[in-house]
Structure 1
Amino acid sequence: MSFVLAIVGRPNVGKSTLFNRLVGKKLALVDDQPGVTRDLREGAARLGDLRFTVMDTAGLEEATDDSLPGRMRRLTERAVGMADACLFMIDARVGVTPTDEVFADILRRSGTPVILAANKAEGRAGESGALEAFSLGLGEPLSLSAEHGEGMAELAVMLSPMIEAAALRVEEAETDLDVEEGEEAPERTKPLQIAVIGRPNAGKSTLINKIVGEERLLTGPEAGITRDSIAVPINWDGTEMRIFDTAGMRKRAKVQEKLEKLSVSDGLRAVKFAEVVVVLLDAAIPFEQQDLRIADLAEREGRAVVVAVNKWDVEENKQEKLRDLKEAFDRLLPQLRGAPLVTVSAKTGRGIDRLQAAIIRAYDVWNRRVTTAQLNRWLTEMVEAHPPPAPAGRRIKLRYMTQAKTRPPGFVVMCSMPDKLPESYSRYLVNGLRDHFDMPGTPIRLYMRSQAADNPYKDRKKSIPSRLTKHVKKGATKKG
């Protein structure tokens, strides 16, 4: 198990900047506006020869009620309990504040080892604040600059004995386990990447918390709570997964603030890296224009798609509503015809098992491969049933078909005049592929190619052989 370091502190002291530096990527959103981070974000950190897990947390605020800051504080305190050590950051340019003193006392009583860091200590402006940090009673403060990378070597020196001690404890615990002789460890596989996307307040974070079985993500009645795309690892009934919670996506015209633009961009990036995308709808207002745009985005990115309708527990006429949903789905999203449509309740957990089965099924279809022999037998039947058109009196010939790729399935058809084959005939073939080879809902890519394109002599003019050229010249001379 990896050593976990939680970065905690007041809002806007530079926690996310340090997190990004340690993981070597701009994973966490960074902005001058305080309180950007709200959820717990984990990342694989690398500092010299040290390898560990770093956790970015929400800014600590003096709020203990059920308000948004209060819920954020409880989530951060939970991260402190989960971590092997905490890096408590203050702003060296501001100095020690009353809020810093309150949370320093909380960390002292937590029992978790604490490293005190005075960030933004570069130059003379931060010298006095770094010295003032001694008053917190957490030992000698580490002066660093997360933005400029100063103090990273000193941080590695402080972390090294902690990581070694944690590794020793894990090793001792493993030796105490009774392992049968000859027993092999289970084969590790890459986790299945799942992104949950949808409009604001559709219940994405609540759904993921219910799947995980704990309050891992910040939730509440306020729309737009989630800002970062947070990856949550989970073993879901034996399948290793990473579920990405994303910010709610509103219409582009309504997205004006810089921070919301960054959040939406982060969500789009999560879709591109996902393998299965769960499009979460609100049962009260399903299939609005923004829902259709979001679902179409997932299809255009070539992801396997599952449509989940949340808040199903409050619906009264469930059978009638489900019939209307299926009709609207087939009519409004024909490009995803046959994709799973699952009703769930993130609040009660009803339908979660069906959602998991739909995700696994969509992933299997997304990876499906069909043999070339099967494809060409099927292509012959499709052409006989409905021949391609004959522009200018010349029939387009479909000669050969093969599967070029998976994830999503992609097929190549060798034919004459591919540029003149209408889009309607390509749709006819794609729909036939879905029905015959049982590939409902998954994006299918069909490429038409001409065999003449591979002919190196296609555009060459016919020339007379040199020996014939000599005879032609002699004949012309005699006539002259």
Structure 2
Amino acid sequence: MKPQVIIIGRPNVGKSTLFNRLVGKKLALVDDQPGVTRDRRMGDATIAGMEFTIVDTAGWEDDDAETLPGRMRKQTEVSLEGADAALFVVDARAGLTPLDNEIARWLHSQKVPVVAVANKAEGSTGQSGVLEAYSLGFGDPVALSAEHGEGVADLFDALWPIIGEKAEGEESADEPSEEELLSGPLKLAIVGRPNAGKSTLINRLLGEDRLLTGPEAGITRDSIAIDWQWTDPQTGDTRDIRLIDTAGMRKRAQVVEKLEKLSVADARRAIDFAEVVVLLLDATRGLEHQDLKIASHVLEEGRALMIAINKWDIAEDASKLFNGIRGALDEGLAQVRGLPLFAVSARTGKGLDTMLHAAFEIREAWSKRVPTSALNRWFDDALEANPPPAPKGKRIKLRYITQAGTRPPRFVVFGTRLDMLPKSYERYLVNGIRKELGFDAVPVRVVLKTPKNPFSK
């Protein structure tokens, strides 16, 4: 279950406005007059991947228990039972009142961790109220403007130590889990220039002449998908694979016939459909510029990429060739260094099982979701080891990071003055994610985002 966070405070301090801010919708009625909220209202809240249930409560009033305000207060008291945290909201513009102090004394007698929130703190008028809130005894108050969306990052910082471990985002009901995605057939596309041996390689894997092959370039026109079962010699497991053969992809200037244009377009669609793409090189021709263009396209589409050097059985000066291709790949595809590189032979079967075993491993990394707690621990360590620069004396503040998706892994970094962050520091973060969090040579997307007001439009 998601952790539960209760909003508590006297009437008209902005509890329902904060509730609406955190759920991202205007679910709770909001008005200038006090006492609009009477019943508890629950909603699903998310701050940078930290998911929790937020509960809006009636304003706390010091009335007889039998009156309507008294019964509303009783509901608020009951709501605290089983809660993981409480947000005690005060009005920074009005300052503390005797009722605020009474609520604070009651909260100190409870066992629930409390975060003091000084709402309406925008501008200079709220500063004195924020300073007053220190006297409540709940540590550093969070200066916030629920109406304008300011201070939500600070609220994340305050809540994370309390509910972070329990609030890691779960897969939505409509989105397959990581286990379900990895249990399905591996969608493996074989791409490359004409006559690199793509169809011959697939025939070798299948153990039959399933695809037409020959010395002529460009025999394959359609992208052919073949369902197949492979037994991993390393584990003995039988794994399902959907092999996709594609047409050879020549330089765009050389593609003049309409049929070849359609074939190349079909090959590009096959890349979009695939999970892992094997770029097949010809050992007798080495790495050419067109190979790098194909590789770049695969990475731009966010697919997991592997490189296989075919015709290894007839390669000359094999060690020099392998090291040369390795260096050229790292230089030409600097955004993803260390791509898996294999020496194979479609004619003899050399290296094919090793390549397929690695394809399942790279799909696992491509589908991986890092727990929010581990992700933010890494993020804090990365910032401590190499703090962001301060161009022209202006401090760039990186607040937190969340994983927005998988296949390919996508991350969002929140902070301030992110438009001034150098590209070199972005590369530092991407390389750290890949190296420290187990993404190896998988394409990783990092987006920089400054929190905005969702109601601005």
Cross-structure match for 2:165:
none
Q: CA distance change for structure 1 residues 336 and 265 in 2, over 3 Å: closer, same or farther?
A: same
Cross-structure match for 1:199:
193
- Aligned partners of 2:186 and 2:360 also within 8 Å: no
Q: How far off its partner does 1:418 sit?
A: 2.1
Distance in 2 separating the partners of 1:320 and 1:268: 32
Q: How far off its partner does 1:317 sit?
A: 2.4
Secondary structure in structure 2 of the residue aligned to 1:349:
coil
Distance in 2 separating the partners of 1:374 and 1:358: 25
Structure-to-structure mapping, 1:324-339, within 5 angstroms: 324-339=324-339
Secondary structure in structure 1 of the residue aligned to 2:360:
helix
Q: How far off its partner does 1:325 sit?
A: 2.1
Cross-structure match for 2:204:
210
Larger Rg: 1
Cross-structure match for 1:163:
none
Distance in 2 separating the partners of 1:337 and 1:322: 15
Q: Which amino acid in structure 1 is aligned with residue 453 of structure 2? A: D
Cross-structure match for 1:220:
214
Secondary structure in structure 2 of the residue aligned to 1:202:
coil
Aligned alpha-carbon RMSD (Å): 1.8
Distance in 1 separating the partners of 2:336 and 2:243: 22
Q: Which amino acid in structure 2 is aligned with residue 190 of structure 1? A: G
Q: Identify unmatched segments of 5+ residues in structure 1.
A: 1-187, 460-480
- Of the two structures, which has the highest relative contact order with CA contacts closer than 8 Å and spacing of 6 or more? 2
Cross-structure match for 1:454:
453
TM-score (norm 2): 0.57
Cross-structure match for 2:348:
348
Q: How far off its partner does 1:189 sit?
A: 4.9
Cross-structure match for 2:278:
278
Q: Is the counterpart of residue 246 in structure 1 residue 240 in structure 2?
A: no
- Aligned partners of 2:303 and 2:407 also within 8 Å: yes
Q: Is the counterpart of residue 398 in structure 1 residue 392 in structure 2?
A: no
Cross-structure match for 1:444:
444
1:220-263 per-residue CA deviation (whole Å, 9 max, x = no partner) reads 00000000001111011111111110000001011001000010
Secondary structure in structure 2 of the residue aligned to 1:454:
coil
Cross-structure match for 2:171:
none
Cross-structure match for 1:411:
411
1:99-151 per-residue CA deviation (whole Å, 9 max, x = no partner) reads xxxxxxxxxxxxxxxxxxxxxxxxxxxxxxxxxxxxxxxxxxxxxxxxxxxxx
Structure-to-structure mapping, 1:285-434, within 5 angstroms: 285-434=285-434
Q: Identify unmatched segments of 5+ residues in structure 2.
A: 1-181, 232-237
Distance in 2 separating the partners of 1:286 and 1:395: 48
1:352-403 per-residue CA deviation (whole Å, 9 max, x = no partner) reads 1111112111111101111111111111121122221223422111111111
Distance in 1 separating the partners of 2:442 and 2:377: 22
Q: How far off its partner does 1:336 sit?
A: 2.4
Structure-to-structure mapping, 1:98-109, within 5 angstroms: none
Distance in 2 separating the partners of 1:331 and 1:316: 23
Q: Which amino acid in structure 2 is aligned with residue 345 of structure 1? A: S
- Aligned partners of 1:371 and 1:402 also within 8 Å: no
Q: When the two structures are aligned, how many residues end up with a matched partner?
A: 271
Distance in 1 separating the partners of 2:335 and 2:281: 18
Distance in 1 separating the partners of 2:268 and 2:316: 34
Distance in 2 separating the partners of 1:353 and 1:304: 18
Distance in 2 separating the partners of 1:336 and 1:219: 33
Structure-to-structure mapping, 1:170-181, within 5 angstroms: none
Q: How far off its partner does 1:330 sit?
A: 1.3
Q: Which amino acid in structure 1 is aligned with residue 351 of structure 2? A: G
- Aligned partners of 2:227 and 2:241 also within 8 Å: yes
Q: Which amino acid in structure 2 is aligned with residue 202 of structure 1? A: A
Q: CA distance change for structure 1 residues 189 and 435 in 2, over 3 Å: closer, same or farther?
A: closer
Percent identity (aligned): 53
Distance in 1 separating the partners of 2:327 and 2:184: 37
